[in-house]
Structure 1
């Protein structure tokens, strides 16, 4: 590895030290339904977001709650201490489309209608609150 690449890699590594994330791949829910829940908690403090997700009626909320708990645990393992209230917030939550299962449904007069069973990928970043973020 050249010197320029090594310097860039070290800078990236240093930037990732304070950010912890968790990924959930191939969730069998449409991305549109998952984004509704992701928009509810985007930018929130993590313990407040856990409360919102726990009492949400949406099925996707349970999956995001589990993912958020995983991201918090990743942050705690990386920083070797427990998270305190008001310290962590959701810095990024992103829902991307995943693989799509295509099926056929019988329709009148010998035709077939296409059914698309969608899936998605969710990425959730947890970060500490800095002085710059509070302004």
Structure 2
């Protein structure tokens, strides 16, 4: 495993823009459905898909894509017109456990799931 200083020295991560959202209050399963729609698409096409996809994850991914694009163009001086979504994934985050009262003194558990979403944009060669 490389340290942060070694990565900076080698220039790792300079060819991409990356944005990570931790503890998003949406199930990772729901995010993965929309994520698969935009993988390997040009950035403008991905924006169009996200804008017109009627899913809750679309708005979250739209903002995350804007952040990844900004990171790529401002921090790493990549050309915006050549950017595409190289990688994206949603991992399961911590689950909030709640209780719903039921009949006859019983209780059901409600699981409010969260996810950690990562989006990576790179320049097409």
Q: What TM-score does the superposition give when structure 1 sets the normalisation length? A: 0.82
Residue 75 (structure 1) aligned to one of 72, 76, 94 = 72
Q: CA deviation at 1:105?
A: 0.8
Partner of 1:50: 47
Q: May I ask how many residue pairs the two structures share in their alignment?
A: 123
Q: Distance in 2 between matches of 1:13 and 1:26?
A: 30
Structure 1 residues not aligned, in runs of 5+: 131-135
Partner of 1:105: 100
Q: Secondary structure at the match of 1:16?
A: coil
The 1:24/1:80 distance shift into structure 2, 3 A limit, reads: same
Partner of 1:133: none
The Cα RMSD (Å) is 2.1
Q: Secondary structure at the match of 2:91?
A: strand
Q: Distance in 2 between matches of 1:107 and 1:11?
A: 55
Structure 2 residues not aligned, in runs of 5+: none
Q: What TM-score does the superposition give when structure 2 sets the normalisation length? A: 0.89
Q: Secondary structure at the match of 2:53?
A: coil
Please tell me whether Structure 1 or Structure 2 has the larger radius of gyration of its CA atoms: 1
Moved over 6 A (4+): none
